[in-house]
Copies of this chain bind each other. A is one copy, B any other.
Amino acid sequence: MKQNQLWLNSLITSNPQEGFELAIKLSRMGVKSTQPDMEVLKKLRVEYANSASGLTMASHVIAVNFQTISAANNYWR
């Protein structure tokens, strides 16, 4: 992750689905911050995208980030 690149300007989205997509992005940026090498990430992605527990863990991280984004957007009420 290049720190000087702007990728997270706001947590506000126009609807829940865009919020969910932002949650996916945050989850991936959390991974990239630890392993920035795209080649390694692609290889590992194949691995956990074919593992039941890997996918459930990924969905868990998205759920936590979606909780944050939903609160930020006052749940799009």
Contact = CB atoms under 8 A, between A and B. Distances in A.
Chain copies in complex: 6
Interface residues of A, number: 54
27 contacts: A3-B21, A12-B75, A12-B77, A20-B29, A24-B30, A24-B33, A26-B63, A28-B59, A30-B59, A30-B63, A31-B59, A33-B58, A34-B45, A34-B55, A40-B50, A45-B52, A47-B52, A56-B57, A56-B58, A60-B61, A63-B64, A63-B68, A67-B68, A68-B70, A68-B71, A70-B71, A72-B76
Interface of A: 3, 6-12, 15-17, 20-21, 24, 26-31, 33-35, 40, 44-45, 47-68, 70-72, 75-77
